[in-house]
């Protein structure tokens, strides 16, 4: 990563505050850790199935798996809708009060509320708190991406995109290891929520020590932490000249989100069910760990691949490969198959290249004054559409009598749509964020 710590002079006479190399590494570390712990918070779905079994007890009249599948889909929807709302709100807040402050408040939100979930007395309470906690997860992404992208020179951005994209998968992989070592059961699932509360201190440290984006300060007309220019309303990105970019960004963000949460993540409850039936312990955690290990590599390389082969070409090929791998796993394998782990790794690798691609591409669509809002809207608005898809998957679970493989075969078809949408997206290759 190159160093460029000199202050840039703006045409309007306002100088852009300089960041030292230490400041830049502080920002990158905060963004990486914040999104990594967001991955830990995302992993609370590992406790969703055991929690549903705990609260449902013997009241399912012989259709336990269908009811568990329904509640699992509601739990995932709470994540998607909460993250969408948080992305909109905290993204707008990032453009108003600063990326660093909004990022700190996002971390405090998802960690504190996840910890409160330890005390729930019903599935309804668990889902409600999941929604609120995931507002923080949704807010972490656009502010972390905008802050890191604006703090480092353009030549470093493919690596930054990969690092931030892979951070959540590091957290997901860590939780997979935890689940392998300590089974999450219907009788002991609450302790997982306490792990989700662990980054609360990080949120406080971000608020106190992480420097603000120089580009944001410059756009606000000041070289200090206070801004004098009134913030643009959130609706700005839904009006000309940004509305067409926002719509394209929403579509591009929706495909991998729906593919991940509406298709790929059904691998874990599928493995848990098969493992319980076959009396094989730790199969869910093993599947989570292997998928996340592949995802770490895939998301890390996403920015490099986009930079090397072009934004649009990379997205098209990854959509095609994700479609083929998803269909193969759900049609021809099951969690006890010898090659299942290998193909889960491949699916995790390919399906998460998107999440190294998105942190590079989405900020390039918008200028500084609406970058956090635009990035938050385009990435997180897709979660609303994804939630509808997950609810549909939950309905398919009831229709197909709890057959995870049949559900997966249908939901993985979403990647075919990605091959079409990317044809209408602008090519931002080589674009600087200050252009």
pLDDT at 327: 95
Residue 188: strand pairing partners: 185
Q: Is the dihedral of CA 212, 214, 219, 222 positive or negative?
A: positive
Residue closest to 98 by CA, chosen among 13, 17, 170, 164? 17
Q: Which homologous superfamily does the CATH classification assign to the domain defined by 21-206+233-424?
A: MFS general substrate transporter like domains (1.20.1250.20)
Between 225 and 270, where is the model more confident?
Answer: 270
Residue 354 vs residues 97, 297, 408: alpha-carbon distances, Å:
29, 12, 19
| Percentage helix, strand, coil for the chain under 3-state DSSP, each rounded to 5 | 75, 0, 25
pLDDT, tens digit (0-9, with 9 covering 90-100), for 287-327: 988 998 898 899 888 888 988 899 999 999 999 999 999 99
How many whole angstroms separate alpha carbon 73 and alpha carbon 118?
A: 20
Q: Is the pLDDT of residue 12 over 50?
A: no
How many whole angstroms separate alpha carbon 142 and alpha carbon 39?
A: 15
Arithmetic mean of pLDDT over the chain: 84
pLDDT, tens digit (0-9, with 9 covering 90-100), for 25-75: 999 999 999 999 999 999 898 888 889 889 987 665 557 777 887 888 889
Q: Is the pLDDT of residue 225 over 50?
A: no
Helix (H) / strand (E) containing 137: helix 123-151
How many whole angstroms separate alpha carbon 407 and alpha carbon 384?
A: 20
Mean pLDDT of 252-275: 85
Q: CA geometry: angle at 339 spanning 334 and 340, to 5°? A: 40
Residue 185: strand pairing partners: 188
How many whole angstroms separate alpha carbon 235 and alpha carbon 396?
A: 35
Residues 6+ apart with CB under 8 A from 282: 179, 180, 183, 275
How many whole angstroms separate alpha carbon 19 and alpha carbon 17?
A: 7
- Taking the CB of residue 155, how many other CB atoms lie within 10 A of it? 12
Residue 431: which pLDDT band, with cuts at 50, 70 and 90? low
Q: Where are the chain's structural domains?
A: 21-206+233-424
pLDDT at 8: 43
pLDDT at 104: 97
Contacts 24+ apart (CB under 8 A), 260-263: 260/351, 260/352, 261/76, 261/79, 261/80, 261/386, 261/389, 261/390, 262/386, 262/389, 262/390, 262/392, 262/393, 262/411, 262/414, 263/326, 263/393, 263/408, 263/411, 263/412, 263/414
């Amino acid at each position: 990563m190159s160093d460029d710590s000199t202050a840039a002079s703006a045409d309007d006479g306002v100088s852009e505050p300089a960041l030292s190399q230490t400041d830049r590494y502080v920002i990158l570390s905060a963004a990486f850790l914040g999104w990594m712990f967001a991955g830990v918070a995302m992993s609370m779905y590992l406790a969703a199935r055991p929690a549903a079994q705990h609260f449902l007890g013997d009241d399912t009249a012989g259709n336990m798996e269908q009811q568990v599948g329904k509640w699992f889909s509601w739990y995932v929807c709470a994540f998607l809708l909460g993250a969408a709302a948080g992305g909109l709100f905290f993204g707008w807040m990032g453009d108003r009060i600063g990326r660093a402050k909004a990022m700190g408040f996002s971390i405090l939100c998802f960690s504190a509320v996840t910890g409160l979930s330890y005390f729930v007395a019903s599935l309804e309470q668990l889902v409600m708190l999941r929604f609120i906690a995931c507002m923080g997860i949704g807010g972490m992404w656009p502010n972390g991406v905008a802050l890191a992208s604006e703090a480092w020179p353009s030549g470093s951005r493919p690596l930054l995109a990969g690092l931030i994209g892979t951070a959540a998968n590091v957290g997901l992989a860590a939780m997979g290891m935890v689940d392998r070592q300590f089974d999450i059961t219907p009788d002991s699932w609450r302790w997982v929520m306490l792990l989700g509360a662990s980054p609360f201190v990080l949120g406080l440290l971000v608020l106190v020590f992480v420097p603000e984006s120089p580009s944001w300060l410059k756009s606000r007309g000041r070289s200090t932490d206070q801004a004098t220019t009134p913030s643009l309303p959130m609706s700005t990105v839904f009006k000309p000249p940004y509305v067409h970019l926002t719509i394209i960004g929403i579509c591009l963000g929706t495909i991998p989100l729906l593919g991940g949460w509406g298709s790929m993540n059904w691998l874990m409850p599928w493995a848990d069910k098969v493992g319980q039936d076959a009396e094989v312990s730790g199969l869910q955690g093993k599947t989570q760990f292997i998928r996340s290990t592949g995802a770490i590599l895939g998301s890390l390389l996403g920015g490099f691949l986009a930079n090397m082969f072009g934004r649009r070409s990379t997205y098209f090929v990854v959509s095609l490969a994700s479609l083929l791998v998803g269909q193969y796993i759900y049609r021809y394998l099951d969690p006890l198959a010898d090659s299942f782990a290998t193909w889960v790794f491949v699916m995790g690798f390919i399906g998460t290249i998107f999440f190294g691609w998105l942190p590079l591409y989405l900020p390039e669509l918008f200028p500084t004054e609406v970058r956090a809002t635009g990035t938050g809207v385009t990435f997180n608005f897709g979660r609303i559409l994804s939630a509808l898809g997950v609810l549909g998957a939950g309905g398919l679970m009831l229709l197909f009598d709890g057959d995870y493989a049949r559900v997966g075969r249908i939901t993985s078809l979403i990647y075919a749509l990605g091959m079409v949408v990317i044809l209408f997206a602008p090519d931002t290759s080589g674009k600087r964020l200050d252009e």
